[in-house]
Chain A
């Protein structure tokens, strides 16, 4: 479909041929870009699902992300991380949606000890000694709802690093914040997540 330029007739105007070749090369690059981007859509969706508060919101976000990505594909530098580039669009769109107003970052004191959730779950564990089994006292729904209770600033870094598998450096670039901020939010966010889980466990009598 883009081969028109390569079958240029011998007597064609050289400038015209060059222009057509350039067009064909551009179209080929764009098709490749679009295919590469679509191949990452499951991963983009997974991150969106946890940044957004509902499935509908996540689907809208992903569609907006791809619409914007396809429009501005020229600003992507080939050879750099396409997944990070897409997720940067996604997180920016999510911020644009005004979600910053939703909740101020938590200032209340968190448990000083990092093991409180384990201690909480193990104490009612009837002598369960396998740590994996202790974790399984929580349901998958507990995790999903605890994660959505974590304020956005903290949730973003947890989703990118702990779920999306991004390095601190990538997360800093995607969210456009310093790497030190990624680390401190991650630290605090994980504790907030654990506190939410500990509360759920208490409510459910787990």
Chain B
């Protein structure tokens, strides 16, 4: 019998990417419900993704916005 935590780890990235089939999802969630250690790790990976997404929130300078608008092709 395969190690359920190792299997759960394999499922994690596809789970967070929401590409598991319904059946696989039910299976993964059943394990997460009963295994605290996997659950913590999943939660960590999930918050890491959110964190990475937020880390890159640098705004464009307004000057660049104006330059882009100026690139429009004038009407004849």
Contact = CB atoms under 8 A, between A and B. Distances in A.
B7 interface: no
A147 B49 CA distance: 12
B64 A63 contact: yes
B71 A46 contact: no
Q: Chain B's interface: helix, strand, loop or mixed, by majority? A: helix
A163 interface: yes
B48 interface: yes
B61 interface: yes
Contacts of A131: 40, 43-44, 46-47
A45 B71 contact: no
Size category of the A interface is: 35 or more
Contact of B56 (A38, A41, A50, A59): A50
A143 B75 contact: no
B75 A31 contact: yes
A143 B51 CA distance: 8
B60 A45 contact: yes
A135 B56 contact: no
Interface stretch (A9-17, A94-102, A109-117): A109-117
Given A34-B72, A59-B61, A113-B9, A118 B45 contact: yes
Interface of A: 1-2, 27, 30-31, 34, 38, 41-42, 45-46, 49-50, 55, 59, 62-63, 66-67, 70-71, 113-115, 117-118, 122, 131-132, 134-136, 138, 140, 143-144, 147, 158, 161-163, 168, 186-187, 190, 193-194
Given A59-B64, A140-B54, 16 more contacts: A1-B75, A30-B73, A38-B69, A46-B57, A59-B61, A70-B71, A115-B41, A115-B45, A118-B40, A118-B44, A132-B47, A134-B44, A135-B47, A144-B56, A147-B55, A162-B52
